[in-house]
């Protein structure tokens, strides 16, 4: 599909600039908030007007674009990007009786605000699109990026996924039952057999093209599936691996989106069985929390984890005798009905 050459991630862990994923940053109030860096290359006046999703998205993108040729396009995935600013604007309509409204909140309130801000700051006039498909937003952005790379083989693209914890979305998802009622630390997320998970946020950006030279990794295949049927999902995974794994090879590492919610554990266990016995299973939601574009964080992990020596022990659910991770499978399940498979070749 395409090759990843550079990547930057802003997350609740130490993933920006100096990377340290061995020491786990603990959650607070059932939330894993992104650790925002000192943003460089963005005017302070502009930063003050940005919502959090836009800030972390722009902050992750700028280091990639600072010393690289202008990409041919910007392709992002988000589910709730700008929702916090949208609610603020709607509240102002009521508070000010539709008079003297602050335009900043309105400008930052749309889902494509992050992609548009990156474009405006860098002067990029190329292809610019944002995919908003809830838990499959990033997977659809990847499919779009793959098609663009195939059509324009000499062109690079900025690919990314970004979402924030907004008060509005958190409250709606909490009432829906997405998050745990009891207080829990992310360090104990997989030890409690209860309904719900913890909230997260982050932004991961990738500079991609169709050139294999000096690439960090290759995205071999992506699948986005809607279903609540476990047997259908495992059958689709079997077909996915049979179609896209090179002959005679197997999955070495499964990055599982297991999130501590006992309602969906059967999906993950079923996919673990399909993926094979001789692989390492590692989980990542205790690092980033649950949010619709969390697979972007997993893809970033797939780029920085090359073997058992670079895999933190707190991620490991099942170890194997593998000495390197050549084929990495990412499986994510969002709310039991949206499923994404990503096959990465190191």
Extents of the domains making up the chain: 2-209, 217-345
pLDDT at 102: 66
Average pLDDT, stretch 272-283? 95
Q: Which residues partner with 338 through β-bridges?
A: 226, 334
Q: Tell me if residue 213 falls in helix, strand or coil.
A: coil
Q: Is the dihedral of CA 235, 160, 177, 197 positive or negative?
A: positive
Same fold, 2-209 and 217-345: yes
Structure pTM? 0.94
Assign domain 217-345 to a CATH class: alpha beta
DSSP state of 335: T
Average pLDDT, stretch 101-118? 76
Which H or E run includes 330? Answer: strand 327-334
- Nearest-angstrom CA–CA distance, 161 and 296: 5
pLDDT at 86: 66
- From the list 224, 234, 173, 231, the residue with the least C-alpha distance to 30 is 173
* CATH superfamily for domain 2-209: Thiolase/Chalcone synthase (3.40.47.10)
Decide if pLDDT at 82 tops 60: no
- Nearest-angstrom CA–CA distance, 188 and 58: 32
- From the list 263, 279, 277, the residue with the least C-alpha distance to 328 is 279
Res. 44 pLDDT band, cuts 50 70 90: confident
State the residue for tokens 């719900």: 196
State the average pLDDT for the chain.
93
Burial of 204 (0-12, 13-18, 19+ CB in 10 A): buried
């Amino acid at each position: 599909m395409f090759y990843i050459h550079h990547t930057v991630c802003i997350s609740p862990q130490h993933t920006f600039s100096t990377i340290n994923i061995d020491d786990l940053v603990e959650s607070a109030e059932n939330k894993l908030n992104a650790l925002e860096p000192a943003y460089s290359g963005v005017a302070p006046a502009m930063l003050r007007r940005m919502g959090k999703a836009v800030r972390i998205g722009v902050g992750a993108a700028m280091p990639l674009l600072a010393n690289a040729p202008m990409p041919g396009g910007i392709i992002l995935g988000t589910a709730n990007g700008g929702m916090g600013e949208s609610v603020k604007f709607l509240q102002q309509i009521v508070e000010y009786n539709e008079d003297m409204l602050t335009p900043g909140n309105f400008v930052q309130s749309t889902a494509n605000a992050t992609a548009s801000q990156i474009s405006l700051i860098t002067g990029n006039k190329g292809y610019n699109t944002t995919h908003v498909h809830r838990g499959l937003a990033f997977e659809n952005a990847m499919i779009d990026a793959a098609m663009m790379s195939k059509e324009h083989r000499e062109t690079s693209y900025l690919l990314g996924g970004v979402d924030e914890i907004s008060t509005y979305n958190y409250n709606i998802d909490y009432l829906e039952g997405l998050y745990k009622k009891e207080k829990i630390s992310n360090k104990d997320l997989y030890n409690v057999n209860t309904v719900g998970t913890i909230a997260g946020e982050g932004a991961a950006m990738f500079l991609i093209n169709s050139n294999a030279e000096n690439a960090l990794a290759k995205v071999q295949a992506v699948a986005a599936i809607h279903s609540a049927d476990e047997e259908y999902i495992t059958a689709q995974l079997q077909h996915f691996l049979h179609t896209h794994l090179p002959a005679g090879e197997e999955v070495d590492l499964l990055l599982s989106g297991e999130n501590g919610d006992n309602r969906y554990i059967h999906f993950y266990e079923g996919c673990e069985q399909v993926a094979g016995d001789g692989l390492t299973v590692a989980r990542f939601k205790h690092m980033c929390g649950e949010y619709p574009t969390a697979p972007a964080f997993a893809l970033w992990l797939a780029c920085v984890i090359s073997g058992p020596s670079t895999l933190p022990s707190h991620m490991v659910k099942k170890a194997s005798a593998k000495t390197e991770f050549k084929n990495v499978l990412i499986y994510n399940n969002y709310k039991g009905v949206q499923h994404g498979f990503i096959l990465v070749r190191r």
